[in-house]
A and B are shown apart, each in its own frame.
Chain A
Amino acid sequence: MKLKTTLLGAAAAVALAPLAAQAERGEDGHLNIIYWQAPSIMNPYLSGGTKDLEAASLVIEPLARYDEAGNLVPWLATEVPTTENGGVSEDLTSITWHLKEGLQWSDGTPVTSEDVKFTWEYCTAEGGGCAQSEKYNDVESVETPDEHTVVVNFSVPKPFPYGPFVGAQAPIIQKAQFQDCLGPKAPECTDANFAPVGTGPFTVTEFRPNDVISLEANEHYRDPDKPAFATVTFKGGGDATAAGRAVLETGEFDYAWNLQLAPDVLEQMASAGQGQVVSSFGTLVERIMINLTDPSPDLPEGERATKEHPHPFLTDIAVRQAMSMAIDRELLTEIGYGEAGRPTCNVLPAPEIYASTANDACLIQDIEGAKALLDEAGWVDSDGDGIREKDGVELSVLYQTSTNAVRQDFQALIKQWWEEIGIETELRNIDASVFFGGDPGSPDTFQKFYADVEMYANNFDGTDPEAYMANWSCDEAPSPENQWQGNNMPRYCDPAYDALVAEMAQTGDIKKRAELAKAMNDMLMQNYIMLPLVDRGRVSAHANSLGGVILNTWDSELWNAADWYRKDM
């Protein structure tokens, strides 16, 4: 009897083996994904939030997107247009996309160039408050010569024409579904915003805002064998620790997003053997910004932290350089990020062609050197209280950042190093929703910068750093005149830098662009306007039984969810 069962089992295994290799849509059952920030809407044009973009990327797709190496790959288009293949015009003012043949929306209707054109109209409609309108900057018109061809015309030459319809931020939406939702009517289309008709591997069956999304395989998906999963539960809420625990320790979930946890905590979770941690690097850099203006509370509101009042001591480059030298970036990385971080001396660490190597000396901590530098510049501790001073000005800084366990550890460590070289440091942490909120009425936002130094992380979309590097031009400095908007937190202003920014906007040649970007990066670094600390990778985790995961930091993490499958364990 026993032998017979074994034999039958073996026979069955042989019979099933070819089937397993040849995947079929929906055969792997159910997939559980957890995001500790819960998505609130499935329409990326109405919400810039990463959580919403990534959830939506399961359903709606762009013409082309970035792969895990940061290369553009065609998605709904047949190929990526370039000047070489004639897709981009010689004068860089138009780009022509061709849609794949036979594409269908999840309701079975064909995808046409009209839908692509409509997407542009939707995002640029007056009064809609489209979160991605930056992507459609300078687009003059979108033409549809035939059902499968889209021509985007720009009003100015675009050296990098891959803004519109590219990446998770700018997916194509269905005209039929959204045509009554233009402009101010956008929020009224709740059903469309919660369950957009898409071309992606899954479609929404139920959407509960800020809680959970139920999805099922899209039966009109272009690859008849994909996706391997029939249904998906996309749960949101909680915190990163709980999400990591649910994948790595209890095995309740298959995929957990963005596990920003201390390395020893992650390691302990992974040791449970249920899943594995994956990480990948992008352009996210944790940095300290130095305020070149005076944030003193004694100044009247409206003049505080503006260019009228230069900072009493941070305008001295010796002080800024000493602060940088005192930091042990290797140690910070080891404590805070482990495998998922790399010490860096550049604010533009990637992609490869843009990464400068001119500043790598900062990787080695040099406390003695920092002290010598300060001595030389005349900053000495003359009254014996451990704090250096010059002309009655004491080196005393207020160091603020958002509330986050790793950032508070960084603060404590850096405070100790700075105090060692004679710079008194007071720490302050601010709730992220206030710190990163742009409320001009709040004194605690990172734009107002009512502190001497502040720490946060930033990156840029896609692979082109032009807009990112333009952040530090003179007119980007937050001030009362522009309601404290702008990304030039240090209030750095150098005409030479602005000239480089202007030059890059005119340059099409990729090598030349890379040189310009590097020059700008080096200029910022060698002036110690900001102190980059760690090049932060994205860390996520997936169950051992989940196959096909390729972590991508240039686009949505779920970009290839169609290829995910259940491994035989």
Chain B
Amino acid sequence: MLTFTIRRLLLAIPTLLFISLVIFLLLELAPGDPMAQVPLTVPPEVKERMREALGLGEPVHVRFWKWLVQFFWVEPLHLIDNLFGTALAEGQQRVISWQSRSPVMDIVAQRIPQTLWVVGVAYIVAILIAIPIGVYSAYRQYSWFDQAGTFITMVGFSVPPFFSGVLVIVIFSVNLGWFPSIYDTTHEVNDWDSFVVQLKQMIMPVMVLALQITSQISRFMRASMLDNLGQDYVRTARAKGMTERVVVLLHVLRNSMIPVVTVIALGIPAIFGGAIITEQVFKVNGIGQLLITAIQANDLPMVQTLTFIFAVLIVLFNLIADVLYGILDPRIRYD
């Protein structure tokens, strides 16, 4: 397993370089203009000069090389500078956003707290709810609990967040006045009261997001459990006189986790990627909002950097999932 992991990690480097090139070319090919949001009153010659100032006049391969150097060399140096107070990256150009003309990584760092608070918490809540629901629904297939669970999760999944988000705002902010409809990203948690405020402002986005994620994971959990509950080894285990708890929670659950691990591993990079619509509806302004505004403004360095970080996480978590398969089912071997 160790050699497999090391080999895969090494293989990840060319893969990621290739992915970054594909992303770069894709963004290059996509129609769009960083000047799209500049008012029509600004004359075209001025826009052309602004484009040149952004470096758009240079050929594609030069810009790709520049981005590679900035991302893989200057940014790490800058991080070291920040941590140890050195001055290695002094005077070197970092990856600069076209919209704000400031370093992309600074903005990303600024956005991570609210993304983790909302999207991350929603994911944890969803996993904690979904797995028991999935297990129990399968164990008591076609019981009223299973039926109700099916109904709620399927409706929850069919209702898009642009609707459910506004619905909870209308109910809980406008009519009841319990929770704020606009997330305050500058809020700091330092005591119990401020924690309560934080809780209040995150409860609605977390609710909306968790509903979607729960629906998905619990369906896969249930299906996989059903597959395994009918297997011979379950009969054998029961025949040996093991308690139901041990049979279901130890044997069946472990064997049913493979698809669920896959779904969760695919979902964790998505936490970082943020939740575009939910963030928009609740004004959370996390990474999802950053990405979508960058795409709309054609802020190529920002989009490129964000999608690349995203790609790194995808490759990493898919590797983790592959390793976990081997742990869950020791018969799986890759070598």
* Chain A positions near chain B (C-beta within 8 angstroms): 34, 38, 40-41, 43, 46-50, 127-134, 184, 186-188, 190, 193-194, 206, 208-212, 214, 233, 235-239, 241-242, 245-246, 249-250, 252-253, 272, 431-434, 436-439, 441-445, 458-461, 467-468, 482-483, 485-487
Contact = CB atoms under 8 A, between A and B. Distances in A.
Contact of B177 (A235, A239, A250): A250
A206 B32 CA distance: 31
27 contacts: A46-B101, A47-B38, A48-B35, A48-B42, A49-B38, A134-B46, A187-B96, A190-B106, A208-B285, A210-B289, A210-B293, A212-B185, A212-B186, A242-B283, A245-B169, A250-B174, A252-B181, A272-B174, A433-B36, A433-B37, A434-B36, A439-B32, A441-B29, A444-B31, A445-B33, A460-B41, A483-B48
A272 to B, nearest CB: 7
B32 A442 contact: yes
Contact of A127 (B53, B180, B182): B53
Contacts of A212: 184-186, 285
B36 A432 contact: yes
Interface of B: 29, 31-33, 35-54, 93, 96-97, 99-103, 106-107, 110-111, 166, 169, 173-174, 177, 180-182, 184-186, 280-283, 285, 289-290, 293, 295-298
A272 B48 CA distance: 47
A242 B33 CA distance: 27
B42 A238 contact: no
A237 B181 contact: no
Nearest to A431: B296
A40 B107 CA distance: 11
Contacts of A468: 41
List the 3 closest A-B pairs by CB distance, nearest first.
A129-B53, A442-B31, A437-B33
Contact of A41 (B47, B101, B106, B283): B101
B173 A436 contact: no
Contacts of A438: 33, 35-36, 44, 47
Given A133-B49, A187-B101, A238-B281, A245 B174 contact: yes
A131 B31 contact: no
Given A129-B50, A242-B281, A253-B182, A210 B101 contact: no
Contact of B289 (A187, A237, A441): A237
B101 A233 contact: no
Given A48-B42, A134-B43, A433 B298 contact: yes
Contacts of B35: 48, 437-438
B36 A209 contact: no
B31 A439 contact: yes
A40 B180 CA distance: 24
A425 B96 CA distance: 45
A431 B33 CA distance: 12
A433 B110 CA distance: 25
Contacts of B93: 188
A155 to B, nearest CB: 17
Contact of B36 (A50, A437, A487): A437
Contact of B42 (A131, A209, A249, A445): A131
Nearest to A468: B41
Given A34-B182, A253-B182, A442-B31, A461 B41 contact: yes
A47 B32 contact: no
Contact of B40 (A233, A436, A439): A436
A437 B44 CA distance: 11
B125 to A, nearest CB: 23
A254 to B, nearest CB: 12
Contacts of A242: 169, 181-182, 281, 283
A437 B32 contact: yes
Nearest to B28: A441
A544 B166 CA distance: 24
Contacts of A459: 40-41
A245 B180 CA distance: 11
Given A187-B96, A242-B182, A437-B298, A38 B293 contact: yes
Given A38-B293, A129-B49, A208 B185 contact: yes
Contacts of A190: 100-103, 106
Contacts of B290: 210
Contacts of B42: 48, 131-132, 134
A481 to B, nearest CB: 13
Given A208-B185, A238-B281, A441-B31, 11 more contacts: A40-B100, A40-B297, A129-B54, A132-B46, A186-B53, A193-B102, A210-B99, A237-B293, A245-B181, A252-B181, A434-B31
Contacts of A209: 97, 99-100, 102, 107, 110
A133 B102 CA distance: 22
B182 A238 contact: yes
B285 A458 contact: no
A238 B295 CA distance: 15
A41 B99 contact: yes
A467 B41 CA distance: 9
B283 to A, nearest CB: 4
B182 A485 contact: no
A43 B280 CA distance: 25
B186 A433 contact: no
A69 to B, nearest CB: 20
Contacts of B49: 129-130, 133
B105 to A, nearest CB: 12
Contact of B110 (A208, A233, A445): A208
Point out which of B40, B96, B169, B184 has the most chain A C-beta atoms below 10 A from its C-beta.
B40
Nearest to B44: A485
A235 B283 contact: yes
A40 B34 CA distance: 13
Given A133-B49, A134-B46, A433-B298, A211 B36 contact: no
Contacts of A252: 180-182
Contact of B296 (A236, A237, A433): A433
Nearest to A457: B40
A40 B99 contact: yes
Point out which of B49, B53, B100, B186 has the most chain A C-beta atoms below 10 A from its C-beta.
B100
B283 A238 contact: yes
Contacts of B44: 438, 482, 485-487
Point out which of B29, B32, B93 has the most chain A C-beta atoms below 10 A from its C-beta.
B32
A255 to B, nearest CB: 13
Given A208-B110, A460-B41, A237 B54 contact: no
Nearest to A272: B174
Contact of A239 (B38, B280, B296): B280
A35 B184 CA distance: 14
Contacts of A184: 53
Contacts of B107: 209-210
A330 to B, nearest CB: 26
Nearest to B289: A237
Nearest to B48: A485
A190 B101 CA distance: 7
A359 B54 CA distance: 44
A47 B51 CA distance: 11
B33 A439 contact: yes
Point out which of B33, B45, B173 has the most chain A C-beta atoms below 10 A from its C-beta.
B33
Nearest to A487: B40
Contacts of A444: 31
